[in-house]
Structure 1
């Protein structure tokens, strides 16, 4: 499926958030896990929401992921998700698993539902045990609401080294009914999905069964969240979770529904927006980089080449230094597990052609440097082999990335 087609059907919501769809509440609180910032948050649906999730492929999946998988395997429905920052609760053994279950239990009691209707997510330092006394107090005292400020409280509670909130909201018409979707995410470093130190939470009032929601999420994740990279490391805690409570009251969505493609585009807009915000806010980043590859033999090949380029440290450092070194780009293409004809590759950086059918183009170094000094950089590659297209997003690699990660625990 192409990225963001039929765009006219999707409308971006001004100040859109996880509270844009009907029937959701949220909140965040400073429980004391961090020095001063909010660090515990919840999203709650007023009715059971059909839900789906995708998770990190890291072998060391954190305790909250195991608990959330168990919750979703029961009925495919959730009423809430509880999240903490500062501590990943990863590689913490039996104690960590018990702590994650207790988080689920406390949150379930707060809203008077069965524990299996609550998901759990954590982010922060790996290997530390949870400060459960502060978690208990934080969840108990957490206030939930429907205002923009409540959404902001949740959005800030999930952040770690992020410099800003990641949020969005979109809407479309399905069966004549307005369907809204909102998202919140965190992610700044250890970003290289499938997936990354990245948590994404999506709410919608769409009416869709869990199995079809899971199908849609997997498809969309492949060309959005799984196409971003900051530093090539995959975290223990990554998760994207979607809750669909059905309050828009259109007919149930399936792949045979005439508006199935509209729903996919709604989800795709939401996921791509969050993914790009994460890539732009990479630790120490100064520029968002988008790589578009066309002319591949398949979409999978195109996505693979795009991600290979945007993930190359040599490409990333050249972009940071505003150096139009297209040799680093073609070297990255050569590493990709994709079909490439070395005699047919074309490369452009922004509007400036660097290579045409593998022959170097004459270009102005001054013009190229000026373009690379912008905060959004686009690299276009044509493999001239087929119809496959794909995109990937990342950022430059700066001195500050080393500074941030050299002192992450302090």
Structure 2
């Protein structure tokens, strides 16, 4: 079960004017489940995205990058689950192109105006004939209030659908931001989430939207890890329809800070939901690193702790074997790190205890205090590197027997 997370109810997910979503059961990999989603965008929308840095990136990622770089006005997104269409070579590219061609014919737009996305098993061929056959049903299901259904339609090993929505007043206008994401395993994004789609009815210039999607990703999806694996299909897309009348040409425009905060807030909520639903997770762990020379070295330390199987299994067992945290800090490759200046705390809603300082266990630390905190469902590891003013956060989870079971049985 997810750690303190439930899917928002449909009525709390605000429609975004200019965006409609439709779903169908296409039988991509399994029968009797909605596994194909079509997102239709009105004319005048701007779209930006960031994608996986994995060199074995999936065919849809290659095509998405190409279509966005071409400058075409994006009018549709098509998302399938079950098969990732990754590690599929030239035939995979052809399948992704056929998908875009079919959506284009259905919607009366050019194939270059369609962005395809796939998620699921790697190294297996996408059954593009089934996908294409399901598209008319998606088209007939297009509705502005289908965000809740779409959040369910893009799931793979997720146990819950992930969605977030908020409305803010900006320059006298109500601006909506709504998004969905999927992911539970193969999570160590190096750009964004596994699949994430956020839309706003603000009007945002294309170059500014690209800046915003990168900033939002860096503050959210690029701060999470379940297992340290970067997927072949990671994609985070931000869409702006302009229907609210609030317009932003650059980051100095009045109200832009409020829009950035809203978009980043939705992205962070979605990213944290992925960790709360990490495969087999029983604990949500925030790793807050302060006192670094720059944010990147803070995140490097955070990821070293968050990736470590030894640290993660200790949290699962509620075993205060906290020397594992010091070991992870030590191999995080921080040049010139003075370990005598590092301090580490462990905290939960029941309080915080100093674990280590001056290169050793803190005199005040008692193992029973560490054990008590590690039994909590939400835990914070706080590290002060003692070498600067920078700070950064990484969000992770524990590693349980269930993680192995889920991934051992994934294709069965």
**TM norm structure 2:** 0.91
Q: Tell me, in whole angstroms, the C-alpha distance in 2 between the residues paired with 1:216 and 1:395.
A: 27
1:404 alignment partner in structure 2 = 406
Q: Tell me, in whole angstroms, the C-alpha distance in 1 between the residues paired with 2:108 and 2:215.
A: 34
Q: Does 1:99 align with 2:100?
A: no
Q: Tell me, in whole angstroms, the C-alpha distance in 1 between the residues paired with 2:65 and 2:252.
A: 28
Compute the RMSD of aligned alpha carbons: 1.9
Q: Tell me, in whole angstroms, the C-alpha distance in 2 between the residues paired with 1:293 and 1:76.
A: 41
Q: Does 1:360 align with 2:361?
A: yes
Q: Does 1:169 align with 2:169?
A: no
Cα offset for 1:317?
0.5
Cα offset for 1:31?
1.0
Q: Tell me, in whole angstroms, the C-alpha distance in 2 between the residues paired with 1:332 and 1:264.
A: 33
Superposed CA deviations along residues 177-197 of structure 1, whole A, max 9, x for unmatched, are 221111100111111110477
Change (3 A) 1:134 1:393: same
1:145 alignment partner in structure 2 = 143
Q: Tell me, in whole angstroms, the C-alpha distance in 1 between the residues paired with 2:216 and 2:152.
A: 25
Q: Tell me, in whole angstroms, the C-alpha distance in 2 between the residues paired with 1:15 and 1:395.
A: 30
How do residues 60-209 of structure 1 correspond to structure 2 at under 5 angstroms? 60-75=56-71, 77-142=73-138, 143-147=141-145, 150-195=146-191, 198-209=194-205
Cα offset for 1:313?
1.0
Cα offset for 1:63?
0.8
Which 4+ runs in 1 deviate beyond 6 A? none
Change (3 A) 1:263 1:14: farther
Q: Does 1:333 align with 2:335?
A: no
Among residues 14, 17, 35, which one is paired with 1:39 in the alignment? Answer: 35
Structure 1 unaligned regions, length at least 5: 1-11
User: Bigger shift: 377-386 or 29-38?
Assistant: 29-38
1:21 alignment partner in structure 2 = 16
Native 8 Å contact 2:148 2:163 kept in 1: no
User: Bigger shift: 232-241 or 361-370?
Assistant: 361-370
Q: Tell me, in whole angstroms, the C-alpha distance in 1 between the residues paired with 2:161 and 2:340.
A: 44
Q: Does 1:254 align with 2:250?
A: yes
Cα offset for 1:239?
0.5
Change (3 A) 1:94 1:14: closer
Q: Tell me, in whole angstroms, the C-alpha distance in 2 between the residues paired with 1:241 and 1:197.
A: 10
Cα offset for 1:83?
0.2
**TM norm structure 1:** 0.92
Count of matched residue pairs: 396
Q: Tell me, in whole angstroms, the C-alpha distance in 2 between the residues paired with 1:175 and 1:14.
A: 28
1:395 alignment partner in structure 2 = 397
How do residues 291-330 of structure 1 correspond to structure 2 at under 5 angstroms? 291-330=287-326
Cα offset for 1:377?
1.3
Q: Tell me, in whole angstroms, the C-alpha distance in 2 between the residues paired with 1:305 and 1:115.
A: 43
Structure 2 unaligned regions, length at least 5: 1-7
Cα offset for 1:26?
1.1
Among residues 206, 213, 223, which one is paired with 1:210 in the alignment? Answer: 206
Cα offset for 1:268?
1.4
